[in-house]
Amino acid sequence: MPGISIRPSRHCHRLAAGLALATSWTFVHISVIHADSVAAQQLPVTVPSIQHWTPTGSDEPEFILGSEPRIIADAGSTEIAEHLAEDLIRAGKPISLTTGSDRPGDIVLRTGDIDDPVSESYRIAVADRLTITADSPTGIVHGTQTALQWLRQTSALPRGVAEDRPDYSERGLMLDTGREFFPVDWVKARIRDAAYLRMNLVQLHLSDSQGFRLASVMHPEITSPEHYSADDIREIVSYAQSFGIDIVPEIDMPSHMNAILAQHQDLVLRPARTTPQDAVLDSAIGGGVGGKIDLTNPAARQLISDILHEFVPLFPGHYWHLGCDEYISDYTRYPQLGDYATRTFGPGAAPGDIIIDFANWAADLVESLGKTPRVWNDGFDHPGVLTPKPELVVQYWSAGAGGLPWLPGGRTPADFTRDGHPILNAAFTPTYFTTGGPAAALNAPPELLWAWDPGLFVNGQRLPDSDRPLLRGSMLFLWCDDPAALAPEQIVAPLRARLPVMAQQLWAGTGGIGYPDFLGRASAVGWS
């Protein structure tokens, strides 16, 4: 992930001119109906806002969290209920867990069919009891976070029914712990932040130029001094699962592999000619000579196979991110790749077919281990005769083929969805926040993230209507180009300034809500 201006990449530029767009886009109204009665009967705000609220009459008794409140949970929701109780106690509202029959003033968690095809949907019926119903544990988690936000503001709620579901199926946060190591408790705190905002993915970028952050038994030589043990990963994953968060691990290959290749110099891909930029890229961000593995060497595939077989089973989630970004922008400097491609794939092959072949091979491997593979988009900008497997989920960050990410030149979002790829909008501007280096001066402010919407890609294009079901959503991406620029505790504030905006964008959109109003809502739910 380059962080200097010699060779522009997804992490070293921001589209500053995009600020001018902040006031030019229109928004779609959210279908939220609020009770219009006295202050005690107003429905408290949430972040993100709920999709639909139907009041059932202000003349009927409201829900009141009494002096001895209880949470009643079915067998599948016990851990979720424990988290809710802990959070309410921290909010100054002691509550107990119990089993058996519910009574007025109780909070009830109930797994059941709510007749909604979206697995994360939930319903909250507010009467003399507050009953949260969903047909999945994640839906129950989301319902408890809404209830928690309400009850942090008031102990009395108007009668009615909240029916809620996300607009997008993927809503997340990525942490670049490959460059800057983050302690386990810090990672868990960010997971808790994401869960409070009803997000469902946290991507861990676990390897890059500055470090390989997993303790390898098969290849201990690649493990950095600061790393996560297998028990650390189990703790992080278990904590995330208890809040409905799926951990997406990423070991970036076949570029950004400096930490892995430091002890495997025989596998480094070396150009026929070097440039002055190579040394700078090596030392700064790992994008030059030393960070790329030689895919023409059979031993390279063996090393990668060892790593994937060791670590994919450690993560029980749905996905595995293979990377596949920023391998080669100028193939003329690597004539051996062109020769290998024509020998291996035929006379019509191009050097770029090598990374497509790698991605398909690695995807087959992780699929055999029960995971859905994910990739960055830019590795597939130089195809010849091969095509990427349609099962690859594409995180689309850059439209430029080896150039500025928001300019044309590479494959468009529609090029991928036309071939059946699910896609996530990782638009370089404004979803990225970089901690240091030249890119830090170009970080998009939260106001621009508010003016954006998840259907607008970095090149200004949108998917055709027929392909929009393939758009999964987006994330807020933290990149640590300069790992010494900000300590972990200094990164929290800029992340927390942006995370609720992304959550609102992906759950219900920003229509009908002004940004100052939104900041007031965030403050009301205890977000600061």
pLDDT in tens, 237-269: 999 999 999 999 999 999 999 999 999 999 999
Nearest to 497 by CA among 427, 439, 450: 450
Q: Is the pLDDT of residue 13 over 50?
A: no
Q: Is the pLDDT of residue 279 over 70?
A: no
134 and 201 share a domain?
no
Please compute, for residue 30, the number of CA atoms within 13 A of its CA located in the half-sphere on the CB side.
24
By the 8 A CB rule, do 428 and 378 touch?
Answer: no
HEC-encoded secondary structure of 207-261: EECCEECECCCCCHHHCCCCCECHHHHHHHHHHHHHCCCEEEEEEEECCCCHHHH
pLDDT tier at 400, thresholds 50, 70, 90: confident
For residue 36, tell me if it sits in a domain. Answer: no
For residue 311, tell me if it sits in a domain. Answer: yes
124 and 184 share a domain?
no
- Residue 293 is classified by DSSP as B
Q: What DSSP element (H or E) covers 203?
A: strand 201-205
Residue numbers of the domain that contains 141? 52-164
Q: Is the pLDDT of residue 361 over 60?
A: yes
Q: What is the pLDDT of residues 94-121, one digit of tens each?
A: 999 998 899 999 999 999 999 999 999 9
Q: Tell me how far apart the alpha carbons of residues 25 and 430 are, in angstroms, rounded to a whole number.
A: 15
144 and 185 share a domain?
no
Q: What is the pLDDT of residues 459-500, one digit of tens each?
A: 999 999 999 999 999 999 999 999 999 999 999 999 999 999
Backbone angles phi, psi at 55, to 5 degrees: -70, 150
Say which residues have a Cβ less than 8 Å from residue 247's Cβ, sequence separation at least 6: 202, 203, 204, 236, 237, 240, 315, 317
Tokens of 39: 């202050």
CA 54, 58, 59, 63 dihedral sign is positive
Q: What DSSP element (H or E) covers 176?
A: strand 170-176
287 and 366 share a domain?
yes
Q: Residue 278: its pLDDT value, please?
A: 63
Q: Is the pLDDT of residue 46 over 60?
A: yes
By the 8 A CB rule, do 134 and 123 touch?
Answer: yes
pLDDT tier at 438, thresholds 50, 70, 90: confident
For residue 421, tell me if it sits in a domain. Answer: yes
Q: Tell me how far apart the alpha carbons of residues 15 and 20 are, in angstroms, rounded to a whole number.
A: 10
For residue 366, the tally of other CB atoms under 10 A from its CB is 19
Q: Residue 288: its pLDDT value, please?
A: 56
Nearest 10 degrees: Cα torsion 341, 343, 345, 349:
50
249 and 260 share a domain?
yes
Report the residue count for the chain: 528
For residue 47, tell me if it sits in a domain. Answer: no
Tokens of 504: 């609102």
pLDDT tier at 402, thresholds 50, 70, 90: low
209 and 84 share a domain?
no
Over the Cα atoms of the chain, what is R_g?
A: 24
By the 8 A CB rule, do 323 and 256 touch?
Answer: yes
Q: Residue 58: its pLDDT value, please?
A: 64
Q: Which of 111, 135, 164 marks a domain boundary?
A: 164
Q: Residue 19: its pLDDT value, please?
A: 32
297 and 431 share a domain?
yes
Q: Tell me how far apart the alpha carbons of residues 374 and 372 are, in angstroms, rounded to a whole number.
A: 7
First to last CA, the chain: 30
By the 8 A CB rule, do 133 and 122 touch?
Answer: yes
Place of tokens 């909008």: 425
HEC-encoded secondary structure of 432-463: EEECCCHHHHHCCCHHHHHHCCCCCCCCCCCC
Q: What is the pLDDT of residues 300-336, one digit of tens each?
A: 999 999 999 999 999 999 999 999 999 998 999 999 9
276 and 321 share a domain?
yes
pLDDT tier at 15, thresholds 50, 70, 90: very low
By the 8 A CB rule, do 71 and 98 touch?
Answer: yes
Tokens of 90: 């921290």
Partnered with residue 441 across adjacent β-strands are none
Q: Is 345 exposed, middle or buried (0-12, 13-18, 19+ CB in 10 A)?
A: middle
Q: What DSSP element (H or E) covers 55?
A: strand 52-55
206 and 64 share a domain?
no
Q: What is the pLDDT of residues 191-228, one digit of tens each?
A: 999 999 999 999 999 999 999 999 999 999 999 999 99
CATH number of residue 404's parent domain: 3.20.20.80
Q: Tell me how far apart the alpha carbons of residues 97 and 95 are, in angstroms, rounded to a whole number.
A: 7
335 and 225 share a domain?
yes
CA angle, corner 191, sides to 187 and 192, nearest 5?
Answer: 115
Q: Tell me how far apart the alpha carbons of residues 375 and 320 are, in angstroms, rounded to a whole number.
A: 9
% of the chain surpassing 90 pLDDT: 82
Q: Which of 110, 144, 164 marks a domain boundary?
A: 164
Taking each helix axis from N to C end, the angle separating 78-90 and 137-153, rounded to the nearest 10 degrees, works out to 20
Q: Residue 274: its pLDDT value, please?
A: 77
Q: Is the pLDDT of residue 339 over 80?
A: yes
Q: Tell me how far apart the alpha carbons of residues 107 and 399 are, in angstroms, rounded to a whole number.
A: 48
- The number of distinct structural domains making up the chain is 2
Q: Tell me how far apart the alpha carbons of residues 153 and 125 are, in angstroms, rounded to a whole number.
A: 18
Pairing of strands 423-425, 393-396: parallel
278 and 365 share a domain?
yes
Q: Tell me how far apart the alpha carbons of residues 213 and 259 are, in angstroms, rounded to a whole number.
A: 9
Say which residues have a Cβ less than 8 Å from residue 441's Cβ, sequence separation at least 6: none
Q: Which of 123, 147, 164 marks a domain boundary?
A: 164
148 and 130 share a domain?
yes
Tokens of 400: 């430029």
Backbone angles phi, psi at 73, to 5 degrees: -130, 145
For residue 385, tell me if it sits in a domain. Answer: yes
- Which 3 state secondary structure label does DSSP give 389? coil
Q: Is the pLDDT of residue 353 over 80?
A: yes
For residue 496, tell me if it sits in a domain. Answer: yes
Q: Tell me how far apart the alpha carbons of residues 286 and 209 are, in angstroms, rounded to a whole number.
A: 5
